[in-house]
Amino acid sequence: MAQHSEGERVPPASDNAADLDLPWAPRDHEWTGHRAEHDALEWAKGDPLKLAGIYLYRQPGGNPATEADYKFPVADIIDGQPTRVFRAVANAAARLDQADIPDKDRDRVKHRISELYLDAAKAFDDPDLRAPWDR
């Protein structure tokens, strides 16, 4: 379960939402959402646990084996392995307010993005790296 900045435990926005322990690609790694989503679907081969590990959110009640109900990919498949990409995280942060998801889920995704920024700050040795709403 995710840890909120004040120490509060925050559940993921959906079951198995984005594996926060994946390795990071280099900070300047190119990322294209459409290509990354396609690659994730090919890599997961219908396995919902694999697919969910790439995204921060999955719409409840949909088909977890397809990408249609997933939002906010934060990883790409690099050399056959899921790998977090900072540009994907930044893209998720930029798109969050426009997403059509329930407010409670939006808050959970926001917490997850903040966690990813904090982890990226450590991984890239940049203490000033923070989610836009944490600045």
Model confidence pLDDT, tens digit, residues 13-37: 444 466 678 899 999 999 999 999 8
Counted domains in the chain: 1
User: pLDDT per position in the chain (135 positions), as tens?
Assistant: 333 344 433 334 444 466 678 899 999 999 999 999 899 999 999 888 888 889 999 888 888 887 788 899 999 999 999 999 999 999 999 999 999 999 999 999 999 999 999 999 999 999 999 999 999
Q: Is residue 31 part of a domain?
A: yes
Rounded Cα distance between 75 and 10, Å, is: 21
Domain span at residue 64 reads 9-134
Q: Is residue 2 part of a domain?
A: no
Model confidence pLDDT, tens digit, residues 91-103: 999 999 999 999 9
Q: Is residue 1 part of a domain?
A: no
Q: Is residue 4 part of a domain?
A: no
Rounded Cα distance between 12 and 52, Å, is: 11
Residue 70: count of CB within 10 angstroms of its CB: 24
**Distance set, CA 85 to CA 4, 8, 121 (Å):** 21, 26, 13
